[in-house]
Structures are given as C-alpha cells and as structure tokens.
Structure 1
C-alpha cells in the first residue's frame, strides 16, 4: 500500500510552543520545528494522546519518510517512536501495511549509528533508545514465541556488539527488569550518588538481577553483609527485606552457598528495631513453604519472636504461620502449630483473635470439608478444645469470638439440619473435660442474654402502655454482655429508641427470643433488623454493637427440627447403627449429655411426641448412665407432658415409680424429681406409694437399702408436710440410732488417708447418704421445729471434731473417716446456705467446720474448699464463710494455696460486681461487701491474741492499731523484699 501523500491537512492540533510542519517549509526551519516537536513528545505522558492523533498520522506520510535530509528523517523517526509510547497500547496507525512501512522506516534510520563522528549519531542513539522503549511497550502475552524470538534477535546484538551503552539506554533496559518505575543505581558498590533515574531503587534492582543471574552479584554480597550491620535503621530494614526475598525464593540456594550471610541475616530477627524484626517475620512464610531445609533455623527464631515485647511482631508471627498453613498445611510442623496455640493466650485480644480464627478456619477447611484426611485431622484434633478453652476468658470480646467460631467454623449453622446435628454430636463427643464445661457454659451464657433481652422487651412494651418499668436497668445489664460496655450502653439506648418507634423491628427482636423461633426465622429476623440499623458495607460502631447482640441471642443452631434430628442420630449411635470411634456406650452417653445441656436452655424444642418416644426408649436402656441422663432430660422438658403428649405421660409413670423404688442412687434421685415436675398435681399420691415401699427396705439387710435412704430424703424435701410425722420417727430411730450411731463392721486397716469411691464399704456409704438425707429433710421443713436442726448440727459437729468417728469406737479406717468428716462439713455448709439454719450454727461449730480446710487428708481439704467456693460464688453462704479461705495459707501443697487464692479473688470480684449491678443491694452491704470479711478473718486467725490486747480500752488503742496496720501495708516482706508478687498490696 502506498504511503499517504504529504500536504497540508486540516484540523491538526500541535502541542504548545510547537509550530506547524509541512512540505512548503524550508529544510532548516523544518529541522528546528521537528527538534522542538521531538522534545515535547519525549516529555509527554500517556494521558494527553487523543488530540494529537491527526498529527501522528501527518508525520507518518510519504513527504517525511522520503525527505532528502537525514536530519529530518531522524527527527521524524524519533517523534514516531514516542508516538508509539504515548498512544500505547493502541497506536493511531491502524492499517497493517502502513504499520509495516513505519517499522521499516525506523529500522533504516539506525544506519546513522555506523559513524560515531557523524552529527546525526546522537539522534540515532535516541532512535536506539526509542526502539527499546517501543519493543518493551508493545510486547504482551498474545505474541507467539516466534515473534518474541524475532524481537530478541534484533535487540540483543545491538547491546552485545556495541562499544558503549549510554546511561539512557541502560535506564531503558533496567526499568523493565523491575516493576514499572523502579530504577537502578550503583550506590551500594561505589557509595556515591549517580545521575541515573534508578538511583533510589538499588535493592529492587539487585533482587531482579539475582533472579536473572546470581553470579552477577558475587561481588555485591559482602557489601550486603556490611549493610546488614549498618547503624541506620532504614538501611538495615531495606537490606533485610532484600535478603529475605533472595533467600526465600523457590529453588534459591543462596543460604547454603553463603552460610555467613545467612547467619548474619538470622541475627536480624533479634534486631533492636521493631521494623526490622517485623520484616524478618513477614518473610518466614516463604521459608516455610519453599525451604524445608531452612525451616529449623526459622523456627528457632520464631520461637523467640512469638514472645516479642511488641505486639506487631507477635501478630506477624501468627499471620506468617497461618498464611503458610492455608497455602500448604503439609509444610507446617507441630512446633509451628504450637506457636499459634500459645498465642491464643496472648495478653492482647487482637492477637488471640487472629490465632483462634486462623486455627478455626484450618479446622473448617481440613476437618469439616475433608474428614477422610485422618493424618491432618489427628494433628488438628486439639483445635476445637482450644477454641472452647478461650471461653474461660471473662471478657465479652473473647466469649463472643468463641460463639462466632462455634457457629461458623466448628459447626457451620448454614449446613442442612441433619448434617449440622451430626457435626454437633461428633464435636461434643470428642471435646475434653474443660472444653465440655466451656461448651455448657456457652449455652447457659447465651440463654442468660436471651432472657435479659426478653425482659428488656417486656419492660419496653410496659412503658409503651403507660406502665413504669426499669428499661434503663435492663439496658445497663445487657451492655455488660457486650464488648466495651460503656459504649455498648449508648448504642443500646439508640437501639431502644428504634424499637420504640419501629414496631416491625420490635416484633423481629421478640421473635428471636421466643421459645418457638426456628433457625430459619432467626436468620431472617437478624437480617431484617440489621437492614434497619445500618449498611453492612459501612459498619458503624452502632451497627457492630447491635450485630454482636443479635449473634449472641439468635438461635441459628438449635430448633425443634434440630433436636429431633439430634435425638434420632443419638438413637442410631446407641443402637449401634452408626460407627463411632469411642464405642457405642461412650458416644451414646456423651450424646445424651449434649441433649441434657440443650434441654436446660431449649426445653420447648423437645416438645414433640417422636422425641419423647425416643427418650422413653433411652430410659429403658440397660445402661444405668444412659437411663439416668434421660431422667434428667425429662426433668428439664416434661413439665407440659400431660397436655402435649398424653400417651407419653401415661407410659412414663410406671417407669419412674420402678426407678424410684429400685434404681441406683442417682436414678432414684432424678426419678423422684421427675415425678414432682411431670406429675405436679398428683405427686403426693404417687410419692406416698413410693414412700411406703422404700420404708420397708430401710434396713441394712435389704438390697435396696441405699436407694431407700436416698428416696426418702428427696421425698421429704419435696413433700415435707405430707410426711413430717413419719419422717421424724424414721430419722430418730432408723437413721440416727440404728445407722449413724452404730458401727456394725470392722474397717480394713490401710495406711492411705483416702481411696476411690468403689472401695468404700456399704455401711460408710449408708452413713454418708444418711447425713445427706438429714439435710434434705431439714431443707424441706425450713424451720427448727422440735429442735431438729439444732440436734442435726450438733451431730454433724461431733462427727467433725471426732475426725469422722461419731461414737469413737475405733472400728472405721482412715479413708472412710475422711469421707465421713468431709460429708459432715459439706452438710453443715448446705444448711448454712439457709438463713434460718445459718443463725443456729454456734461459734465453736463454725470454727470446727473452718478447720476442715486444714485437714490432714489432701482430698478432704481439696473437696471442702471447692464446696465452700461453690456456695460462696452463688452468694448463698454468708460472708463470714469467706474468711475460712485465710486458713489455707497453712496448706503444705503450693498448688492448693494458689487455688484457694484464686477462689478468694473470684469471690471478691463476684461480690463487688454484684453490688455494681444491683443498686438495691446497698441495704445488704454488710453481708455482701467482701471487705467486711476482715473481722471474721481476725476472729479465725487472731482470736487468741485479740482478747488480751483489747481487754483494757486505753485511748491510744485505736490510733495505734490503725498506724500499725498502715505500716504493715507499706512494709516489704522480709522473706522476699524484692519479690513484687509477694509485696503486692
């Protein structure tokens, strides 16, 4: 195709300060104008191209290409080369034949390079540079290998056969070795500035050159080692980043070839600069993935850095390991996983959150989605336990995080119901003991928040109807269950205003906490409420607070269908239709424990005849544990059985009566409790039959002797009025005189102070149960009629001071004496929880009871302290009982002293928090404020010196004792004057 003719085209736009170029202009003037145009094009950016397309076409015409002047042709070639750059990737030259002629023209102009002395040599060098710029700008993935080879064949000889390479050409080549606009300099080698544009990007270029040919940099590596030890932080940081990339690249052998440099690099993990340490840790992921031979060295450094004082470094350790695990879990060693495990206990919540979330996502990916991979499943089996262990943290943030992980990763709530319940069953049955307690606590905690929300809605609706109700108090209580309670309180007040104004939002929130809310309805209600309070794409603190509240209360995991599926699955497990690793009975028992935990917080979800039919089948199971757990589920869920499931109601009674008469101790207890709840209107007549039957078995020769004692105690507590006269005779004659005051058997002599439950003789078991029966009888009466409580307390006191041997005949061995005095102490604590009995306990009885915490038997001390702590935490025991903990300072076992100290801290915190939350409790401050424990502690510990000191009331006594206490508080302990923990006030 012939080239376009020259001439004077119309509508050509020229850059500023550039004059028109056309064929009617003289040679010299044309050269001057083209030089100006070439300079402007050279400085022009790509955002200014559209308006000069006509000018570009004008330059690529026959007039300029065939001009007699070499200078004109060279300058036009320079302009066209820049046109390709400016208009990239779409040049204005559309016609393929025209484009070919243009390239031929550009190539011809390179002939000017043959004579370096020629005046046009400089312009030819510009074409040389522009050629390379052009080639680099137009090459792309669509070009075939043949085209790329042609380009290289043209470009490479121009470099290799040249005598010199200009700085501009060097820049043009090196700019394409790095990311766009990253340039080269030689500062590292010669230590002086350069006029090159790459002078600020030394390390990026070194990295790219190393990628092309590592041998090129052999002389540079010693300089890098020197730079690693520079006093300038930014320099150390840049070199560290460079070496980290070079060492960690796949297939890199730099670390093995240059061990000195590698060891010097490892030293930067301990750099004084946080930034340098952070860079080192950030690249640990690449070493883990690409260099198994170097992982040992990296692990040694990460072991130190995971305890770094700077939280950013610890966070990077967690991120590096988790990111590597997501990409290739097989490269993660157990030691690396242990680092993440340890960081779940970090003092900073955001690090704990990162570690827990990362582990949870690994669990979801490799266990939930790939259950057949047993090797990985075994390595990650501990993750679920670790997640629930985090629930022992008391902060709302941690607890909310665990709840979120449970619903999204451990058992995704989006799964179909049957699969979700299967996962839940398998999860629960594989948790360790501490995780199980945390799981049960999670259910109770969420239930408590739901109850609080329901009370808030009720109070709000009462207000709307004109009735006074404590809405603000409910909001304050609810805010304590959310992160940052003070801010959450303000957000809840705002949400409360929305609820007042928007009936639909109020209806959705009420539906969430209603007993018949399904998982599907809960999910829809949450979405609708969140739409009303904000935009998910721009989450405000208010939106986040409401979302956190809804996450806690929304029952997205459990509803009636879910319970039906779970009961059915557990039925198949117990029947042996489903294989489980733990064995049928163990998995079945754990599955029933899960149902029991759910029955305490979701009782309406069990209200289906099919569910109760399966439970009735469990109740008749030969395994006593399965039967007992089922009884407890009926206790929680059977209150409306008569109305909702009459067939089950009638079928259940004979089973309960038989169990109450002839079951084991636990079965009897729960069977009687179940009768009192399910058959609440007929319980007196039903229990009368049971009472008459067990009364006949109340002798040591009966096979159901122990069951009878337990049964009578619970019947007396549930129906004290109906059996008061008969119980008094039974207690005085059969329980006290014929059982507790008699020693029919001679105990086997042993040296141990304690042994297992199964080794206890039946007589001692009977005496232990008899003491419990006395307490239950009194708790049913709730009075001291006939001095029954006084007599019982005196009996229990005698058992304690006689070290378990009530009649002091010496027939009972040491382990069983320990059991008896422990039980006597626990019974006194139980009675002390009732105000009517607490006031009957004398000073001597209180002192004898307190000294059980110093008992010679370790198990007695341990179990008594735990029982005492349980009563105090429930705020049922009077404040003076907290002073008993002070006597544990004499415990010979260090761990026991630490445990009791934790009990004391927990109780002090509990009481102070209770006073904050209950403004009306101020009237009971003397019985609640833990500081008032001090007088009782003095009574227990210093009673033998207080009387002589205080016998005379000199005026100086008060001031003297106050000054002395202040001095003691401020004085360092002589046993450890430098021990901060010991001297902490």
Structure 2
C-alpha cells in the first residue's frame, strides 16, 4: 500500500512538488488506504490548480455544508455555551456515515493546503477540519490506521499553527476572529490535543501545544468570548485533561516550561500565564510533583560542580545544558513552597546539606532560601525539622565574613514570622555584636537599632541593653552609631511625652560619658547629639528649657561635669575664632604680613587642636580664613554667629548660610580655588562644618535665659507653697525634693553664668539669688559631713548662689581675654591641666581688680545692674555680708573654710581671695586630712582675719 508518508516521500524523490501531483493520485491514495474522497452534498472538488477566489468559494461551500450537517445532528460548533463547558459530542446514527468524510479530511491535510500562502484560506481549511472532527467525535478514525503517526502529527501541528494567529488579533471585530474562535473552541471541547499520546514524539508535540496555549493567554482580554475568568477556567480544564492523559510524556523540558511562569519576570509581566501555570501545577500535583522533585534535586547536586567548573574555567564558555535550571533553582523551590509545601518537602534536607557546602556562594543561597521559608507567616518548619533549624542558625558563625553579614541582614525578614523563637535569633545577634570583624559588629548594631525602633515596649529591653553595651566598643564608628541610636531613643521619648526615665537615664549618661574619651571625634559626636537630641535646637524656647531641666534631672555628676566641659569647649572655640576675626578686621583690606601673619598662624594652630586630624586641617583652615578676609558676606554671617547675644534661630540660620556660602563660593572667589580638587573641596567643607558646629551657640540666647529664670522662679514658688500648705501634688513636695529642685536649678544657672552670662537677665538673676539666700536657714549643712571619708561634698544652695554672683560679677573660670570679662585662660591651658593651674595661681596674685572692672564696663557698656545707684546700694547691703561670710568664715560655723598649711607670702587681692575660698571647698580634697575641717580657729585670730579681709572687700567695692 502507498501510505501517506510514502506518498510525500515519493513526491520528493521524483523531484515533484506535492502541489504538482494530480487530484487523481490523491483519490487513488485515499481509496487504497480505505477512505474514499467524498465531498458533502452540492460541493465541488478541491485541487491546488484552483484560483484563490474559486478556492475560497469552494471551501466556503464545504464549510457551509458541514455546518448544516452539524446543525441537523445537534452539534453546532459555533455555538458557545457560557454556562457549561461540558464536551457534548453526539455520534451520528451509523459509523460508516460518520467516517465517510475521512478521505476529504486527509485530502485537506495535504501540504499543498496546509501551507497555502493565503492565511485566510488556511484558516477556512482549518475550520473545515474542526467541523469534520466534530462529526467524527467521539471516534478517532485514524487511531488504528497505518499512517496514524503522520496524520495525527500533521493535524496537531497545523492546529497549533492556526491557533497562534489569535495573538495577532486586535479586537473581536477582526474578520478572522470567528474562524479562530471556532478552531480554538472546537479543539478544547473535543480534547483533540490529547491525541499526542499516540505519537512517538508526543512529548515534543505536547510541549508545542502547551507553548501555544500559554502564548494565547497574553492577550486573553482581546479574544475572550466571555468573562476572562470563565475562559481561563475553560482553558485550564482543557490542559488538566491533556496532562492527565499524557503523564507518561512529561519531560524535563515540559516541567521547566511550566515552572518558569512561577518566578520573575513572568510572574509580573504575564499575570494570566502565571495564574494558569500555578493552577495547573496545583491540579496536577500528584502526577507532576515527582518530576519536579527529581529535577530540583539533580540541579542542587550539580550546582557545586558547576560553580567549581566556573571558577576553574579561566574565562572559557561552559556548557550548562546539564543544569537546565541554572541560577533559578532556589527561587523555584521557594515559589513551589509557597504554592504547596508538599511539592518541595523532600528537597529541604538537600538544601540543609547545601548550608555546609564548601562553596560560600552556595551556603549563602541556601541560607537566603531557608530564611524566606522560615519567615513565612505561621510557618512551623523550625518545629517539624529542628535539625534544619539548627543548621540554619549555625551560619551566623560562618567562617566567611560576607555570609555572617548576610545572616544579620536577613534577621528582620526572619522575625516577620511570629512563631519563630525570637530569643534564639537574639542570641545570634548578641554573638554577632561581639564579632571580631568591625563590619559585622556595625551591621549587627544597625540591625538591632532598626528592630528596637519597631519593637513594642515589652520587647525593647534586650535590644536596648545590646546597644548600650556597644557604646564602649573599640571602634569609633560603632561607638558613634551606638551613641546616635541611644540619643535618638532619648529624643523620641522626649518628644512623645512618654518618658521612660530608667532607659532615658541610661541613654543620657552613656552619651555624655563619652565626652571623657580622648578622641576628638568622640567629643564632636557628643556635642552634636547634645544639640540635636538631648536638647534639640529646633524646639521652641520653652521646650528647650524643659529639655535642659530634664537633662539635669536625669544626669549623674559625671554627666553634669561633661556638660560643663562641653560648654567650656564651645566657649573656647568661639573665643579663638573671635581672636582670629579681630586680626582680620584690624587688617581689613590689607595683606597679613609680619606680626599679623604670625599671630594669625598661631590662632590657626590653636583652632586646629579643636578638630580631628589637626595637622591635616590646617590647610583647610588657612583657606577658610583667607576666604573670610576677602568675602564680606561670609565675614558678616560669621560675626553674627559669634555674637554673644545672637538669637538661637538666627545662629542656626547663619550656620546654614556659611556652609552654603563655602560650598558655592561667589564668582570672585572661584579663581582662587580653581586649582582645588573635588576631594579637597569636600575635606574643606567638612572641616569648616565641624569648626562651626563646635563654636556655634544654637541653644542659649537671651530668650532662653529669661524663660529659664521664669521657670526656676515658678518651680521654686510652687514647691514652697506645696510644702507650706501640706498639699500633696502629683509628686510629693517634701523638703528634700524642694532642696533637690533648687540645687538643680542653681547648677543650671551656674553653668550658664560661667559661659553664657550674656544670655541671663542680670537684674532678675540677682533678685532670684537674693530670695534664695534669704530663704536658706543659717544652720544649713551639706548632706555629706566634712569628716567623712568619701570624696563627695555636694554644694549647698548658698554656695551655688554665691558662685553665680561671682561669675556674674566677672569672675569664674571663663576663657578669653580679661578685657572680655574672662580670666585670661587660653586654649593650651585647658589642654594642659598643669598650665591651667599655674595660670590660675599667677592670676590670683595680681592686683588688677579695678582695671579689669573698668575694661569690662567699657566692653559691655552698662554694668551688671541696670537700676539706680541707691537700688544697687540696697542690693549690695544684702549680698555683701553673704560674700564676706563665704570668703572668711565658710558657710556655717560647723563647716569653716579650709586653712592652707602654708600661706602665700604676698597679700592676695579680693578676687584672688574669693577664688581661693571657692577652690578651698573643692569636692574631696585629698591633701587635707578630714579632721582639719573641724579644727576650731582661735577667736582673736579669726576676728583679725575677718577684719582684714573685710577691709579688702570694701576697698574692692
């Protein structure tokens, strides 16, 4: 017999195209294999010799005849039932009657028709084939034929080719839409594609069919004949039936084709295909899970070999056909796990082994996958597989630094699962926080900080303690990060109004204690945090004052001393820059030469001591002061910034203006910096920024001083009235509490009177201090007796008040020249304690009190007191006895002043006597035995001393 395949082979061997073979040959072939070429009623025969118009007319006649035949049998292929998707195939009365069109079916599958140039004619031929398939249903007339492989293979390929034309549709009004709809709907309804199970190369045809159907889903919105969901379910049912009947044909290529739609980029760019693939895998899970698991396991096993070969290839192109999944293995495992856990459960032990791979990249990829799996909501994998969980946590101690860092990065994602044992994760973070690598410790600290910001109040303790411990790290970067987080926590509590006094106290003291570090970077970090978090400079005046009160309430003695050192450093920096500015103003419009240049370089060297890497900062400082010498706008802004009475908001604005000015110099100054590099410009801007931050007073101004004194007076009156009336406020106002509040307020006033006395209202301060002195009992004694062995000797309110008065009158350890009301102490003396002590001793021996007062009055204009002379005299009558008693006899008869063992030979001035008396009450004077303070002074000697010093004080006044 001449079979169909032999027929086409014969045509090729004789070098004759099938289109050149006559119609009689085709009729003979169909007759020989058992099918006659019978046309429907009133239809003419079809051949390749027909013109296109005639061909189209005759094929239309055949379609119309077949449609009429289907209508008579009750199987209308063009009718779409949207409510039912059941396949309804009604066989005709006789098998012979059903199969009489098999001959013309094979005839239309001839290459001269399936490869016809006109797409419209090919679609009409395909419609005729689909209608004949409906007539044959449920019988496949070619299943047992000798040419089954050829006919079915050609049919399925031709159907796929025609169906793909759906992707070219632009709307349902396209002329080809009805024919394409008929083809697709008939193929799905009759399950024609299941015939690929009869082919030897059925897996290839099945893959081609799947590709065709998934391609159609791209423009489902255009060709869907009903609701998109209904049509998608219709197609899904077709694919499920197809996969059920072709399970033996599932190959790795088919599984890979389905899996690629579960991950990116198909997941985002092709949502319909992604949804169809996901639903299909779920419906086919029992049949498809084993091929999937086998494919994934083989990929995991071969991944180590691939990575090793890649490292050893030296740039050679490798053949990755043995690992078809490539880099997507772990991503697919996670996608399948989220789809259905049973699909990848047998693979997880293999993933656990990858955690111990010799290749760091494989360990990292396995850790990332397990992190995503463990972090799934309500995941209990850590309970069902404890060995895998233990192996997972062991990676926090991996030998590779990058993997340890990556493990820390995954912690926030891991903690999204509420079922995860958080204590074990926190233990891993604690281990990472003391890692030998600075980068790992820093990353662990940042991670803990972010977790603490998101944590609830009941789970914040562990995070806070870890951050507090890292504030003493040996690495400067880690210390700064820890301090910044502690200060941020303090600020959040401060602004929210929910004061957590215990943690705020720890955060405040830890931050301020860092000012004792020898590193300049640490001091600068503390100064920044003090102005931005502890007392935020952007708050209004009232809130800043309240923040300062709270700071002094929570701070310990060491922290208070660090605040004083901070203010002292700020005052010293401002004084040095004012000195440099004075030299520039004295030589305005002239070049600095000779002594002026020498003095300027001395000031620059002193200022460089305030900056980190002082030797390298000298060049930037030279550039800054050179610019300051020629730029009037910059000089004006700096003068406003350094003015003692500059408002806080104006100081902040001047600081921003200066930084903006130096980052964008005027055109006249561009030429002088044309040779500088971007790196040098960055260093220059950073240096100037640090310098201005250290000297700018953005917290304290006259409004602050007035508000501070107002709140002190109100607080004192409230406590006094509560104590006298016996009414219990929110916090019981006991005498000890009133004493503590009074002492704290006087401490704040003392700190400001030393370094910011211009901001305090002098008249009101004297009035307040007078009321304090008048209200303190005469028998008040310090809380710690003089004969105790402890170093603590807390100051009394009277002592603090008198120290404030001394500072307001021009005394006190103020930096700067004597003409500015200071004591003449310079920067180097602060850096060298011995030099500072020698300077203070030499200053106390000078008898220049009167000239200093005169010069001070010249600089500041009006004196301390703005009232009349009679009013000043009345105030002096109250204050002077206290000063006299303080300088001569001590605070009380029970606590006399310390008598030096060796008196100085020369007579001290009143100012020196005052300083000596104050210094004699320094806390914990180790050189003086405890019994000296209780030694009784002879009456005659005491009276003589009092008389002598009284004369000196009166002469000074």
TM-score of the two chains, using structure 2 as the length reference: 0.59
Query: Which runs of structure 2 are paired with 1:716-727 in the superposition (5 Å)?
Result: 717-719=908-910
Distance 1:668 1:262, change over 3 A: farther
* Structure 1: gaps of 5 or more residues: 1-22, 28-58, 84-91, 673-690, 724-753, 782-985
Q: 1:505 aligns with which of 625, 631, 634?
A: 634
Distance 1:709 1:264, change over 3 A: closer
- Residue 588 (str. 1) matches residue 742 (str. 2): yes
Distance 1:599 1:168, change over 3 A: farther
Distance 1:209 1:230, change over 3 A: same
| Aligned twin of 1:444 | 568
Q: For the residues of structure 1 that align with 2:232 and 2:737, how far apart are their CA atoms?
A: 71
**Deviation digits for residues 73-104 of structure 1 (CA, Å, limit 9, x no counterpart):** 744643654x7xxxxxxxx9478999987994
Distance 1:179 1:490, change over 3 A: farther
Native 8 Å contact 1:133 1:172 kept in 2: no
Distance 1:264 1:518, change over 3 A: same
Query: Which runs of structure 2 are paired with 1:678-827 in the superposition (5 Å)?
Result: 706=896, 717-719=908-910, 763-764=934-935, 766=937
Q: For the residues of structure 1 that align with 2:946 and 2:298, how far apart are their CA atoms?
A: 89
Q: For the residues of structure 1 that align with 2:365 and 2:807, how far apart are their CA atoms?
A: 66
Distance 1:449 1:147, change over 3 A: farther
**Deviation digits for residues 932-973 of structure 1 (CA, Å, limit 9, x no counterpart):** xxxxxxxxxxxxxxxxxxxxxxxxxxxxxxxxxxxxxxxxxx
Q: For the residues of structure 2 that align with 1:631 and 1:357, how far apart are their CA atoms?
A: 38
Query: Which runs of structure 2 are paired with 1:883-898 in the superposition (5 Å)?
Result: none
| Aligned twin of 2:707 | 565
Query: Which runs of structure 2 are paired with 1:358-757 in the superposition (5 Å)?
Result: 358-365=485-492, 367-372=493-498, 376-464=500-588, 466=590, 468-469=595-596, 470-534=599-663, 540-576=682-718, 583-607=737-761, 609-622=763-776, 625-639=796-810, 643=863, 645-647=865-867, 651=871, 654=874, 657-658=877-878, 661=881, 663=882, 668=884, 706=896, 717-719=908-910
Distance 1:313 1:608, change over 3 A: same
Native 8 Å contact 2:505 2:555 kept in 1: no
1:647 alignment partner, SS class: coil
**Deviation digits for residues 899-932 of structure 1 (CA, Å, limit 9, x no counterpart):** xxxxxxxxxxxxxxxxxxxxxxxxxxxxxxxxxx
1:219 alignment partner, SS class: helix
Residue 557 of structure 1 deviates from its aligned partner by 0.9
Residue 295 of structure 1 deviates from its aligned partner by 2.3
Residue 434 of structure 1 deviates from its aligned partner by 1.7
Q: For the residues of structure 2 that align with 1:103 and 1:413, how far apart are their CA atoms?
A: 74
Query: Which runs of structure 2 are paired with 1:804-953 in the superposition (5 Å)?
Result: none
Native 8 Å contact 2:396 2:432 kept in 1: yes
Q: 2:164 aligns with which of 66, 78, 85?
A: 78
Distance 1:191 1:633, change over 3 A: same
Q: For the residues of structure 2 that align with 1:178 and 1:240, how far apart are their CA atoms?
A: 19
Native 8 Å contact 1:132 1:172 kept in 2: no
Residue 620 of structure 1 deviates from its aligned partner by 3.3
Q: For the residues of structure 2 that align with 1:420 and 1:98, how far apart are their CA atoms?
A: 78
**Deviation digits for residues 479-505 of structure 1 (CA, Å, limit 9, x no counterpart):** 222233233222222222321221100
Residue 654 of structure 1 deviates from its aligned partner by 4.9
**Deviation digits for residues 221-280 of structure 1 (CA, Å, limit 9, x no counterpart):** 221232222222222222223223323443221112211121222222222221222222
Distance 1:200 1:593, change over 3 A: same
Query: Which runs of structure 2 are paired with 1:54-69 in the superposition (5 Å)?
Result: 66=124, 68=126
| Aligned twin of 2:920 | none
Distance 1:185 1:149, change over 3 A: farther
Native 8 Å contact 1:421 1:562 kept in 2: yes
Residue 107 of structure 1 deviates from its aligned partner by 4.1
Residue 602 of structure 1 deviates from its aligned partner by 1.0
Distance 1:777 1:333, change over 3 A: farther
Native 8 Å contact 1:616 1:652 kept in 2: no
Native 8 Å contact 1:288 1:332 kept in 2: no
- Residue 115 (str. 1) matches residue 195 (str. 2): yes
1:200 alignment partner, SS class: helix
Residue 585 of structure 1 deviates from its aligned partner by 2.7
TM-score of the two chains, using structure 1 as the length reference: 0.57
1:394 alignment partner, SS class: coil
| Aligned twin of 1:200 | 327
* Structure 2: gaps of 5 or more residues: 1-51, 57-116, 128-154, 268-291, 304-319, 666-677, 720-728, 781-795, 811-856, 915-924, 953-957
Query: Which runs of structure 2 are paired with 1:46-61 in the superposition (5 Å)?
Result: none
Native 8 Å contact 2:374 2:381 kept in 1: yes
Residue 323 of structure 1 deviates from its aligned partner by 1.2
Q: 2:388 aligns with which of 237, 258, 261?
A: 261
Native 8 Å contact 1:289 1:328 kept in 2: no
**Deviation digits for residues 788-842 of structure 1 (CA, Å, limit 9, x no counterpart):** xxxxxxxxxxxxxxxxxxxxxxxxxxxxxxxxxxxxxxxxxxxxxxxxxxxxxxx
Q: For the residues of structure 2 that align with 1:221 and 1:492, how far apart are their CA atoms?
A: 62
Native 8 Å contact 1:187 1:202 kept in 2: no
2:377 alignment partner, SS class: coil
Native 8 Å contact 1:306 1:317 kept in 2: yes
Aligned positions, number: 649
Residue 125 of structure 1 deviates from its aligned partner by 4.5
User: Whose radius of gyration is greater, 1 or 2?
Assistant: 2
1:382 alignment partner, SS class: helix
| Aligned twin of 1:834 | none
- Residue 132 (str. 1) matches residue 214 (str. 2): yes
Q: For the residues of structure 2 that align with 1:181 and 1:455, how far apart are their CA atoms?
A: 70
Distance 1:658 1:259, change over 3 A: same
Q: For the residues of structure 1 that align with 2:456 and 2:414, how far apart are their CA atoms?
A: 14
| Aligned twin of 2:402 | 275
Distance 1:335 1:129, change over 3 A: same
| Aligned twin of 1:334 | 461
